[in-house]
Structure 1
Amino acid sequence: MAHILSGCRTALAQGRYRWRHDKVLTILANTLEQERRKKHQPHGRAIPSIKFVRAGQKPPTTVTTRTNLLQKAQSWEMKVDLRERLQFLLVVQTTLRPDAVLWSEEAKKIILIELTVPWEEGCEQAFERKSAKYQDLLQDCRGKGWQAWLFPVEVGCRGFPAQSVWRMLTAIGVMERERKMTVRRMGETAERASCWLWSRREQLSWKPGGVDGQ
């Protein structure tokens, strides 16, 4: 099963894995776009901080401020590597194509997101591999005076998102119910796509089609 769903060179060459990857990326991109369009408060959102105190003592009146990366600028743009070859910004010269890029030219801030849909046991290796792959690009952006962040994220091909997905969504500002729904939908999409690929594993020629193969 591992070979069919994540290690077959023929499936890779035919675009089967890319098709599944892009279906998961579409779910993530929709959430990122919704978050990008929100009006961001520059100082974050104040939430009460719960403190445990001894009996008879008064609790301190402290407030914790929750901030995220999108609050570091008022306006953001986004590009996603779907259907068209993403051309990286004119910040630096590179042939690399992250799956999603959010940036604020005014504030000179940029967020790179790279999605992988591997066999679950390979999530950690995928994270390390993609982290290393984009380090030079990250440093080049910083060398040009941009604040830059990189988020390699993994959703297992059998439908189990890695913790990196949760961390990225939290850093972007997707919280609570919306974050949980996004993670669940990404996992379910990967699982359904893998089931579709598995059911067609004996077919030498392949092209997405039908209800699940759009």
Structure 2
Amino acid sequence: MENDMPAKIKPDYKVQARRQLSGNWGIAIGFTLIYAFIPIILVALINLIFHINIQSVSYVVTILVSPLVLSSVIFYSRLSKKKTVSVGTIFSGFKYLIASSVIYLVLNGLMIINGLVAIYFPGDRIFILMFIAIVTCFITLYYRMSYYIIAVEDNISVTKALAKSKKNMYGHKMELFLLELSYIGWVFVSLVTLGIALLWIVPYMELTLANFFLNNYQPEAEQLY
């Protein structure tokens, strides 16, 4: 007997993002500006006060501002769910400083190793870097949903968020890879405009990804922080 149940139609995440940004471009661009300037200001202040090497400061600041990534996820998750958003959401991720920092290290740990390899093995680095980059890309696709799970589930542990992300990303990794790859043209546009276009491109990309992740994951808690 044939199955008469209609197949689930996959939404067009980009079309959704354009619709959701209509009337919200101002707040999204403002959020993007603040998001970009906080690390720059922190680096400048730490270097000015403590006279530490800029590169060393950058590594420290990267970890300290890792909750900004979660703040961005919360902001665009709210926008995706048609909830009220504000520029003040930029600080919401700092409430989960440890969780966001751990997830950041999980997602970027191999890239940090990649950088160390580039420094200490300069002769053969091209092949090693390419290998690590490929492995990094494959592994992190499993855990990319972790931030969104933290954003929508109350009091969930980091380990559970990572485990749920891995489970929910089965069958969606290539879809996510191709979705992100589809923005490569916009990257060139940002280069031509000296980065100015990023004020529009980043919200478009982030909201598209929020739509993708939230569509492929059913949160246990419906209330977004």
Higher-Rg structure is 1
Q: Please give the TM-score of this superposition, normalised by the length of structure 1.
A: 0.27
- More helix per residue: 2
Q: Please give the TM-score of this superposition, normalised by the length of structure 2.
A: 0.26
Instruction: Determine which structure has greater relative contact order: mean sequence separation of CA pairs < 8 Å that are 6+ residues apart, divided by chain length.
Output: 2
- More strand per residue: 1
